[in-house]
């Protein structure tokens, strides 16, 4: 029986007025009359001795008391569920990366369909780095291409798949035929990088690699939120750095200008071995009840290892959310 019908019957017994009860529930008095008759018919007993005087039969009195208990229990259930509320897992990453953005959202939608009371909240900081969101407790997980080495003690890092780092130089300005490009081949060039907070962790990682070598390069930060503007800042000695997953079909429109104007070279893996899509976890628990922990990477063996990095990332983040949910299923 509909809980609403129970409420209407209880109100009618208490208020003793069809008009007042109909107004309370925003229905017509004739509709209320049909509802009361339907209750008696469903239960198989008359509810009123004298409907004009609103005098209950013995069975009607039992129904009134039991309905009160049932409605009270139901309202208590709703209050308990409301007190629990939805739980959130907060993921920080840079919206500009369309591959990561697409797969985070795909994993979010799939997870939320399966687990109605747990929500994935996406954070894309505009005034701080991705790792800073984690450090401040604003996020439970950060997704980035390179973890910040300076904060290694503050984070747990899980590199999913190391990716080749690619150097993009103006077409026809560098001769290199075989094997990975040694960093020395970029001597004297200028590394243009985005000063957008979402990319700074990645840019700083490359800057650290260059500065720890004997290669002399210049650096130029481009203060722009627009990637197209970033790649319009060109010069004959410039170099941009990309990860291999930057070449995914979803990211290609984002970097179209860079593709069209550049020759691409894979950089010596000794420089780029720590580059790749990574999960970054706080070493200290966050306030969120939905605790995230690194996942087993045994699934990387076999066919999944042959997946493109961005597709592999989708599998990884889906597994991360599912595993964490079942570890926290009391919520």
* CATH H superfamily, domain 165-272: Periplasmic binding protein-like II (3.40.190.10)
User: Which residues does residue 278 pair with via DSSP β-bridges, in sequence order?
Assistant: 144, 159
Give the separation between CA 130 and CA 91, rounded to whole angstroms. Answer: 10
**DSSP 8-state symbol, 234:** -
Among residues of the chain, what percentage have pLDDT more than 90? 14
* The pLDDT value given to residue 3: 87
More confident of the two residues 131 and 11:
11
Give the separation between CA 121 and CA 89, rounded to whole angstroms. Answer: 6
What is the pTM assigned to this prediction?
Answer: 0.56
For the chain, give percent helix, strand, coil, nearest 5.
50, 20, 35
More confident of the two residues 322 and 150:
322
Neighbouring C-beta atoms of residue 275, cutoff 10 Å? 25
* 265 in Cβ contact with 174 (< 8 Å): yes
The predicted-structure confidence for 38-61, as pLDDT tens digits, reads as follows: 999 999 999 998 877 888 999 999
The predicted-structure confidence for 57-81, as pLDDT tens digits, reads as follows: 999 999 999 999 999 998 888 667 6
Nearest to 107 by CA among 122, 128, 94: 122
**pLDDT exceeds 80 at position 190:** yes
* The pLDDT value given to residue 301: 41
Question: Can you spell out the DSSP letters for 265-330?
Answer: EEB-HHHHTT-S-EEEEESSPPS-SS---PPP-GGGSGGGGGS-HHHHHHHHHHHHHHHHHHHTTT
Where in the chain are all domains bearing CATH 3.40.190.10?
Answer: 87-161+276-327, 165-272
**pLDDT exceeds 50 at position 299:** no
* 134 in Cβ contact with 280 (< 8 Å): yes
Where in the chain are all domains bearing CATH 1.10.10.10?
Answer: 3-84
Residues present in the chain in total: 331
Give the separation between CA 158 and CA 235, rounded to whole angstroms. Answer: 36
Task: Let me know if 151 is exposed, middle or buried by CB neighbors in 10 A (0-12, 13-18, 19+).
Answer: middle
Of the pLDDT bands very low, low, confident and very high (cuts 50, 70, 90), residue 6 is very high
CATH of 3-84, one of 1.10.10.10, 1.10.8.10, 3.30.420.40, 3.50.50.60: 1.10.10.10
The predicted-structure confidence for 249-296, as pLDDT tens digits, reads as follows: 666 666 677 778 888 888 877 665 556 667 777 666 554 444 555 555
The fold for domain 87-161+276-327 equals D-Maltodextrin-Binding Protein; domain 2 (3.40.190)
């Amino acid at each position: 029986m509909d809980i609403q019908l129970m409420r209407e019957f209880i109100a009618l017994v208490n208020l003793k007025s069809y008009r007042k009860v109909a107004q309370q529930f925003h229905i017509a008095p004739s509709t209320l009359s049909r509802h009361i008759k339907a209750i008696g018919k469903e239960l198989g007993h008359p509810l009123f001795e004298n409907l004009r005087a609103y005098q209950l039969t013995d069975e009607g009195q039992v129904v009134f008391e039991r309905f009160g208990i049932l409605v009270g229990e139901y309202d208590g259930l709703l209050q308990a569920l409301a007190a629990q509320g939805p739980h959130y897992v907060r993921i920080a990453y840079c919206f500009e990366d369309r591959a990561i953005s697409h797969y985070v959202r795909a994993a979010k939608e799939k997870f939320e369909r399966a687990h109605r009371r747990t929500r994935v909240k996406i954070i894309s900081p505009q005034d701080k780095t991705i790792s800073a969101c984690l450090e401040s407790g604003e996020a439970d997980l950060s997704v980035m291409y390179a973890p910040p080495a300076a904060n290694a003690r503050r984070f747990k890092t899980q590199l999913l798949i190391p990716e080749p780092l690619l150097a993009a130089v103006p077409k026809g300005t560098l001769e290199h035929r075989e094997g990975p490009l040694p960093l020395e081949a970029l001597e004297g060039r200028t590394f243009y990088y985005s000063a957008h907070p979402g990319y700074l962790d990645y840019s700083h990682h490359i800057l650290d690699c260059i500065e720890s070598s004997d290669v002399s390069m210049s650096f130029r930060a481009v203060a722009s939120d627009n990637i197209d503007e970033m790649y319009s800042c060109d010069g004959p000695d410039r170099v941009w750095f990309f990860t291999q997953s930057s070449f995914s079909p979803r990211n290609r429109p984002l970097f179209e200008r860079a593709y069209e104007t550049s020759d691409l070279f894979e950089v010596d893996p000794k420089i780029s071995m720590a580059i790749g899509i990574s999960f970054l976890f706080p070493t200290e628990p966050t306030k969120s009840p939905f605790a995230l922990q690194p996942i087993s990477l045994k699934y990387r063996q076999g066919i999944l290892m042959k997946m493109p990095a961005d597709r592999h990332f989708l599998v990884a983040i889906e597994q991360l959310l599912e595993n964490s949910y079942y570890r926290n299923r009391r919520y």
